[in-house]
Amino acid sequence: MTRTQVLSHTALLVCAAVSGVAQRLGPARLPHPVASSGGGRSFYVANTGNDGNDGLSPERAWKTVAKANSAMAQMQPCDRVLFHRGDVFRDDYIRLVNAVNATASTTLASDPPRYSGTGSCQFTIGAYGTGANPLLDGADPLSLSWTEVAAGTYSAPLANPPSKLYADPPEAANCARSACPALLPMPNAVTGPGPYHFLDMAQNPQQNRSIIYGATSAAQAPNGQAMSQPYLWRWLRTAPTPNGAVVVSATNTGLQNVQATPASWYYDSNRHLIYVHLRDSSNPSAHRFEGTYRPFGVLMQSVNHVTVTGLAIAHVAEDCVLADAYSDSSRGGSYFTNEYNGIVGNQCWNYGSLAASRDPLQSHWNQDQAGILVTATGEAAPHLLRGNTVTGNNVGTADGYLGSTALVGIEMYDQDGGGTANTLEASHNILHTSIAPALVYGTNKPNLTNNGGRIAFNEAFDSQGNFFFSSVTGGRADHNYAHESYGEGIQIGGASKSDGNGAPPHVIDHNLLVNLGRTSTGTAFNGIDCNTGGNDAAPAGSLDGLWEVNNTMYNTDSAGPTFEPGCTHPHFFNNIVDQSAPQMFPFGPKSPKNGSYLVYFTNGPLTSGFDFGHNLWTNGTNRTPFRNKFDCTSWFTSVSDKNSACIPDPGFTNPQQDDFGLRAGSPAIGYGQVGVAGVGTKDAGAIPYGQSKLF
């Protein structure tokens, strides 16, 4: 599938209102179908409803989210709350908050949580009717009366400031599959940074294409690299940089910065005025405006056996869906869990915060945000959460500043992924236009490692990093597709463990990673990047004995696979690494034409022993291909790479059109070793002969 096809294809998700399975278009393999909600009751919510109704039929539907929230506390485990498709809801976000005043003796059995299902049926938040998914919109339309205060800059009275501002927001269907950016908030540099920093978008000067989602003015440091937030005020200056990027002044008021910066806004909290300078400097009276006033679409705290399916969520200040276990040791933390929940077949866009510091409208830091966030965050001593599934969702366009590296598409922390069974956790999601990794499965807790788990059949493009699969004991990442994007295809490491230290194998297989440039900061790149943060001697907790099998890496800056500190005794079989493209994506200053390594490694992994075999490497590269150390001849005499070869052409059908199937006569046909790590197949690379797409 080409990038154009991805952006134009609808990516519709087939979701039954009650108990169906969400599927990405095309073949789907979903080990975790949505559990039936059994014989419970259905409650309906529609724009045409009335909160005085009982909600028990479409004809007697409620009208507001607030009414549904107040009623859900008394609902039973198998009940369903269904929102009418085609409707837009703005009065509140869905709140499933189990705020029991627990003690150390409180248990799930003694005091079952509200807003929760059971092992036999799910409590369901879903949709009914026909048409587009019901939209939970975090923004409200604003009625503003504008006055021109300077050329291109206008002001209007506004009592309550929004956390984000949108001009002429497109229809929901457009934003769900492409970029719909917010206006840029401006700082009042004279009185201090206030709640906002400049949103430093990065732009590729050679291609005149925004690295993220379409800013017309890109803040860049004098060296041409985008400014990450910690260095922002250091680089503020009055004059444009030599590449033409607009940079706000450290001595300007917020109004002056808006005047100097098209597509921006500023709120004066003393005078209760909002200032806007549109991209084309036109009069805002001819435009529609919406401002974000709600942090979430769905908030799930300490609930179990809940399925959220078939919703569209947009313009929220934090997460489209946040599922966490919020408690501390003084409240009996063993009671508060966040397990067996499913986030299935939803759409999410324009999530996250543009504020670099805590905003009054935020309930937690913007460094802990995602389109969909499932985590144990909040517990003083969290345990691994069991049974959670995120599948079939479309997540795109994060609103945030570069440097907000945790503002990802989908994030699953602290999960029990089924141990050696690697029960599926995140699959069949479409993720795009994020300023941080598209999907993160791992943990940020010290001394806590995810127990197995699997990410599979996900697609990511136009993001800053794609799939992060770290701090995992064992685990499998397979059949993921990262393309036309920035940063690593797959990042593995952290406290991850594999078969070399008694843990189950950590397997990365059948992934297609193509056309990947460096992140805007120039710090993240490569096809499959393994770095545990340890040292080459494989300390405790390192990733020793990793398997990478049947992957395809094409045109990835600055190497295909990398094996860095802690990644020792790697197994690398049946892979195709092709860096022979005529020029590197995305043609940036640090992306040399045809100049990437085939593989990069530090001395530790090499001396600890590679186990490589049945790989195909192209020899068309301007660099000495193997870490600036070996050419193709000396590679095979220095490293154990059995039955492998350097070739001029791996025989892809049409890589310029993102078709990485194998054409007849390809040297990859039959070149693989079957059964390696239990996943190896006879044809080398991610896509077998006779198949044109990964999934």
What pLDDT was estimated at residue 412?
A: 93
Asked whether the predicted pLDDT for residue 222 surpasses 80, the reply is no
What pLDDT was estimated at residue 263?
A: 82
What pLDDT was estimated at residue 173?
A: 58
Higher pLDDT: 222 or 188? It is 188
What DSSP assignment string belongs to 142-192? -----EEEETTEEEEE-SS--SSEEESPPPHHHHTTS--PPPEEPP-STT-
What pLDDT was estimated at residue 628?
A: 65
Q: From the CB of residue 482, how many other CB atoms can be counted at a distance below 10 Å?
A: 30
Distance separating alpha carbons of residues 17 and 82, to the nearest angstrom: 7
Q: What integer is the mean pLDDT of 413-438?
A: 88
Q: What integer is the mean pLDDT of 338-347?
A: 94
What pLDDT was estimated at residue 191?
A: 52
Q: State how beta strands 289-292 and 139-141 pair.
A: antiparallel
Helix (H) or strand (E) holding 413: strand 408-413
Higher pLDDT: 146 or 414? It is 146
Write down the domain spans for the chain: 3-129+295-609, 139-292
**Is residue 593 packed enough to be buried (19+ CB in 10 Å), middle (13-18) or exposed (0-12)?**
exposed
Beta bridge partners of 308: 125, 343
**Helix (H, G, I), strand (E, B), or coil: what is residue 294?**
coil
Q: What integer is the mean pLDDT of 212-224?
A: 29
Q: State how beta strands 147-150 and 306-309 pair.
A: unpaired
Asked whether the predicted pLDDT for residue 337 surpasses 90, the reply is no
Instruction: Report whether 497 contacts 474 (CB < 8 A).
Output: yes
What pLDDT was estimated at residue 382?
A: 67
Q: From the CB of residue 667, how many other CB atoms can be counted at a distance below 10 Å?
A: 16
Higher pLDDT: 419 or 128? It is 128
Q: State how beta strands 467-470 and 289-292 pair.
A: unpaired
Question: CB-side exposure of 44: number of CA atoms within 13 Å?
Answer: 19
Which range, 417-426, 543-552, 590-599, 679-688, is most confident? 679-688
Distance separating alpha carbons of residues 69 and 370, to the nearest angstrom: 23
Instruction: Report whether 493 contacts 531 (CB < 8 A).
Output: yes
Which range, 103-117, 118-132, 564-578, is most confident? 118-132
Higher pLDDT: 196 or 631? It is 631
What pLDDT was estimated at residue 20?
A: 26
Beta bridge partners of 389: 342
CATH 2.160.20 fits 3-129+295-609, yes or no: yes
The encoded tokens of residue 320 equal: 């489209």
Could you read off the pLDDT of 289-310 as tens digits, one per residue? 999 999 999 999 889 999 999 9
Instruction: Write down the mean pLDDT value for the chain.
Output: 78
Could you read off the pLDDT of 356-384 as tens digits, one per residue? 433 333 333 335 789 999 988 655 566 78
Which range, 118-122, 355-359, 635-639, is most confident? 118-122
User: pTM for this one?
Assistant: 0.87
Could you read off the pLDDT of 568-621 as tens digits, one per residue? 888 999 999 998 887 666 645 455 555 788 998 876 656 567 899 999 999 766
Higher pLDDT: 512 or 557? It is 512
* Confidence category of residue 17, pLDDT binned at 50, 70, 90: very low
Backbone angles phi, psi at 326, to 5 degrees: -100, 110
